[in-house]
Amino acid sequence: MDYATMFDLTGRKALVVGGAGGIGRAAVGGLAAHGAEVVVADVQADAAKAVADEVTVSGGSAQAYELNVLDPQAISQAVADLDPVDILVLTAAVNVRKRMLDYTSEDFDKVIGLNLKSSFAMISAFGRGMAERGSGSIIAFTSIRSITVEPGQSAYAATKAGLLQVVRTAAAELGPQGVRVNAVAPGVVETPLTQPILDNKEWADAYAAKSALGRWSKPDELAGAVVYLASDAASYVTGTQILVDGGWTAIDGRYDPPA
């Protein structure tokens, strides 16, 4: 191991799904800064291009790619267009905050479809080529909700727990072919997905107080975990979940949100 270059991603191609979003955008920036050629994939083509242009202006290498991961044909086309991919990062997610008795089947399908089904499909689609080439790193974003819950989080928590088990299974199945599969579990992050909570001061303050650090995280505080798992520094790390939660799951506390 060359310790001076163990985080160097030069010559590797990274595909970041949801790359125009808060956490995805930070992942793109971190990977590009360490030398990766990054594909910013997002259903919002203009937003993906804006992120790719930012990276290019900063001296990195990035391109935008419009991708709807809910469309199986679009995933197949992405493999044809983009493979070989060395690093796959999955950040796209949605949440419908409702008590279970208020949930509709449409709500449930929406959350399961994007958070779990599409992630399963992407891991399968791009993991195949990685296995054939004998190398690769897949990084899926789960959540603290994969292990701890609260009212209003039933479907979301189920998808994140399910995704963690998909990650572990993929690590077991693809490990012999040299492919590593891991998860990053954020705590509370300031993104558009969590804006309704941030808009409620009592709720936002309670979440801040719940972590050991006493605050929310910024999206760029997740980038280090992505770079680590993508790099040779994590060459013996697979099938695990890295918690980037400010100590949320290390301490006890309770708050009943208005959801």
- For residue 183, which of 227, 231, 127, 239 has the smallest C-alpha distance? 239
Residue 42 lies in a domain: yes
Query: Residue 259 — very low, low, confident or very high, per pLDDT cuts 50/70/90?
Result: low
Reported as a single tens digit per residue, the pLDDT across 142-181 is: 999 999 999 999 999 999 999 999 999 999 999 999 999 9
Residue 5 lies in a domain: no
Contact status, residue 244 vs residue 186, Cβ threshold 8 Å = yes
- For residue 167, which of 177, 178, 179 has the smallest C-alpha distance? 179
User: Which is catalytic among the residues 13, 119, 154, 156?
Assistant: 156
Residue 175 lies in a domain: yes
Residue 152 lies in a domain: yes
Reported as a single tens digit per residue, the pLDDT across 67-86 is: 999 999 999 999 999 999 99
User: Which is catalytic among the residues 13, 49, 146, 160?
Assistant: 160
Query: Residue 251 — very low, low, confident or very high, per pLDDT cuts 50/70/90?
Result: confident
Q: Which region among 37-41, 42-46, 68-72, 207-211 has the lowest average model confidence (pLDDT)?
A: 207-211
How far, in Å, CA of 43 to CA of 100, rounded?
Answer: 29
Query: Which one is predicted more confidently, 253 or 98?
Result: 98
- For residue 10, which of 41, 39, 32 has the smallest C-alpha distance? 32
- Give every strand in the sheet of 241-244, ordered side by side: 61-66, 37-42, 13-17, 87-90, 136-141, 179-186, 241-244
**Span 209-227, mean pLDDT?**
95
Residue 3 lies in a domain: no
Phi, psi at residue 249, to the nearest 5°?
-80, -5
* Residues composing the chain: 259
Query: Which one is predicted more confidently, 150 or 240?
Result: 240
User: Which is catalytic among the residues 143, 146, 154, 231?
Assistant: 143
Identify whether 118 is a catalytic site residue: no
Residue 64 lies in a domain: yes
Residue 200 lies in a domain: no
Range of the domain at 48: 13-190+219-242
Residue 75 lies in a domain: yes
Residue with tokens 């979940």: 241
The count of structural domains within the chain is 1
Identify whether 160 is a catalytic site residue: yes
Q: Does the N-terminal peptide bond of residue 72 adopt cis geometry, omega within 30 degrees of 0?
A: no
Query: What CATH number should be reported for the domain holding residue 173?
Result: 3.40.50.720
Identify whether 105 is a catalytic site residue: no
